[in-house]
Structure 1
């Protein structure tokens, strides 16, 4: 990337906050339980409520980014996230914790939508998927570094250690805001002569259908973080350390190959083709995961099968990501990118909220047949994306025009 390119700046901002996110993901649960004094049930309930509210807030906050300008909205929401994280350092009651967690989820969901709108304003359409692939690689790198820092806090298991790393997360979002502020200004979308619904995306049924299908494919997110670890310890002869090894494999794989996987995904047809292939590859990974329960494999045989399944899952994940990024932009009207990205982004908290329950019931309780059912669902969702996306394109009628030209800060 050129030294002063907008993508480089966006990547630097992504790295700043993803290091903090890695710390947060690793340490927050134990901090809330051991330092704040909450029960696991209280933490789980608060997380569900907070991400549900955050998902609903993503659309209006994305629409606000369209109307007010995505750069300013991104900066404010990054600072809002920092304030929410830093408030975790002082909350000691459940009500205060819930309020802070809701503020964190709302700011995070709004920031995701606003940053997508900002990227659309500073990166030409043909390069957006490639740019998002670079950002995803940067995200994984930051998460890996942050998880390592969080691991040090877990090893020492002290109140001071937890406070220090959570403060680092808050500082990371402040740095993210400062970097985003240095990007060019993307003017707000001018008021349109034709009266439109305030949140038009909610009435765009074809786009809603595309978002739902993408949310189904996003069930692969809790697959690696929850279902596969439980599967390994309850249904296979593989050693427990494999859970960590597969996570590292996935993280490094995305860092190394996501940009390459996104090459050529520069239009609607290429995007639907890539998503269709991802459904087939995810089906294959589910079949191989199911085979790891074979009684005659032994520990090392199970390790080999699980690694092969994880590699297939990694390929399907990268294909699904590349295709969905292109779809989310190609099918969004140019003057409503923020709110459309906000709605499309609700698939992530939805998968994280519903996924654990669905995957635990399917895979841990039902076993091998559950893997086959899950694989068939992935295949069907990937195959359905093409017809649904074509319907969304036809409903939109004309290609999205370019967003307003970015101005120098």
Structure 2
């Protein structure tokens, strides 16, 4: 079996280069940022958590108007500006010494990141044929994971050194990475702005598109799995199982490598709404099974047996993740009107900051307070959302066929 991580030459490969650049910087930043602001700046974990929660909440709202801006002004130029804004916000971390300065910086960071995600999706839609978009996104996801792994290793070196200069070097690396990302995006072909909105159409038509909103809500529920690997599962291993602590790192490596190697292959059969619905439905079944396996890992048993169950649960979890990602990419693109791609992608992408904002609280409450019943409830919730996605997608597709999703929403 031949494994190809990089997409075909041309625009897809340049998009991958931009993705690789900023993901390396982000990987280093994610590893070091919290410890820098606590150990060097002197902020409390509660202050950092509050600042990030506020920032990602604002960013999730800002993604829609920034996506609409990409539609009106062109996604390439908007992406470049937002990548530079992200670099500037990271540079400001070098001089932050108070909570309010941190809050201002992370609000700019989260807003620019959410807008950049929407604008880049619109740029990809303008440069890649509809039937190839999910496949290209699978390549980009594989590249993203590889970049995050490299960045995390560099961040680990900074943590090992432990000095203020080492932390500041990580922030400088992240800022330079986003400037490189902006440079790569600038070399892509320009995508023409879409026409102005029709008379009587609201400025942000996606906010009136109820079928698409339902699909977005269900996708946000499915994305609650995102903090599992970084937060919930490590705490579960340490507090509820007899497995060794080093397994936390091993499961992270397993997930990263699996996505790098198999995301493209998993996404290959997803080419239309029917195959996307099937992928999401199967992902719900696999995720429910994963939650059940994680749950029983807490039952009294030897450490090696708990570790084996945790590895099995992680394998099922990454399989579900790859299927759900592929299905959701196809759904998010195919249900969005071509002339409103930026704002629709900005709205659909709110599931990511919502998961980052609410996911830690929801998952720690469910899993660490409820234990095994919490895992079973989470599995049932994700299974229900995956099965509900099918009817929701059919409804949204029918409204689009009947005159376009945005127009149908306006008439309603």
TM-score range, shorter chain: over 0.9
Partner secondary structure for residue 360 of structure 1: helix
Query: 2:392 aligned to 388, 394, 402, which one?
Result: 388
- Point out where structure 1 has 5 or more consecutive residues left out of the alignment: 402-409
Task: Report SS of the residue matched to 2:190.
Answer: coil
**Structure 1 position 398, deviation (Å):** 5.3
Distance 1:82 1:47 in 2: 17
1:3 to partner: Cα distance: 6.8
Q: TM-score, normalised to structure 2's length?
A: 0.95
Please give the per-residue CA displacement for 1:239-291, whole angstroms capped at 9, x wherever unaligned: 00000100000000000000000001010111011000000000000011111
Shift of 1:215: 0.7
Tell me the residue number matched to 2:311.
307
Structure 2 residue 72 is the aligned partner of structure 1 residue 54: no
Partner SS for 2:52: helix
Distance 2:101 2:110 in 1: 14
- Deviating beyond 4 angstroms after TM superposition, the runs of 4 or more aligned structure 1 residues are 1-4, 398-401
For residues 153 and 7 of structure 2, the distance between their equivalents in structure 1, rounded to whole angstroms, comes to 29
Q: What CA distance in whole angstroms lies between the structure 1 residues aligned with 2:401 and 2:105? A: 43
**Out of 179, 186, 191, which is 1:181 matched to?**
186
The within-5 A match list for 1:302-381 is 302-381=306-385
Question: 1:37 maps to what in 2?
Answer: 42
In structure 2, the partner of 1:150 is 155
Q: CA deviation at 1:2?
A: 7.4
Residues 7 and 136 in structure 2, CA contact (< 8 A), matched pair in contact too? no
Residue 27 in structure 1 maps to residue 32 in structure 2: yes
Equivalence map 1:8-407=2 (5 Å): 8-295=13-300, 297-397=301-401
- Paired with 2:122 and 2:395, the residues of 1 have a C-alpha distance of 23
SS in 2 for 1:255: helix
- 2:404, 2:149 → 1: CA distance? 36
Question: Alpha-carbon deviations, 1:334-386, whole Å to 9, x = none?
Answer: 11000010011110111111111111111111111111111111110000000
Q: 1:208: Cα distance to partner? A: 0.6
Normalising by the residue count of structure 1, what TM-score does the alignment of the two structures yield?
0.96
Task: Give the Å deviation of 1:221.
Answer: 0.5
Cα deviation, 1:168-215, whole Å, max 9, x if unaligned, reads 000000000000000000000022444311111111111111011011
Q: Tell me, in whole angstroms, the C-alpha distance in 2 between the residues paired with 1:86 and 1:255.
A: 30
Q: In the TM superposition, what is the alpha-carbon distance from 1:332 to its structure 2 partner?
A: 0.5
Between the aligned partners of 1:382 and 1:57, the Cα distance in structure 2 is 27
Aligned residue for 1:265, secondary structure, equals: coil
- Does the 8 Å CA contact 1:292/1:302 hold for their aligned counterparts? yes
- Separation in 1, partners of 2:121, 2:171: 26
Aligned length: 400
**Does the aligned pair in 1 maintain the 2:7–2:16 contact within 8 Å?**
no
Q: Does structure 1 conserve the Cα–Cα contact (< 8 Å) formed by 2:197 and 2:203? A: no
Please report how far the alpha carbon of residue 223 of structure 1 lies from its aligned counterpart in structure 2 after TM superposition.
Answer: 1.1
Query: Partners of 2:57 and 2:374 in 1: how far apart?
Result: 27
On the 8 A contact 2:206/2:347 being kept in 1, the answer is: yes
CA contact (8 A) 1:330 1:400 kept: no
Q: Over aligned residues, Cα RMSD in angstroms?
A: 1.3
| Unaligned 5+ runs, structure 2 | 1-5, 406-412
Structure 1 residues 198 and 363, CA gap change in structure 2 (3 angstroms): same
Do 1:73 and 1:114's aligned partners in 2 also have CA atoms closer than 8 Å?
Answer: yes
Q: What displacement does 1:397 show?
A: 2.1
> Aligned equivalents of 1:72 and 1:333: distance in 2?
21
Task: Give 1:399 deviation, angstroms.
Answer: 8.6
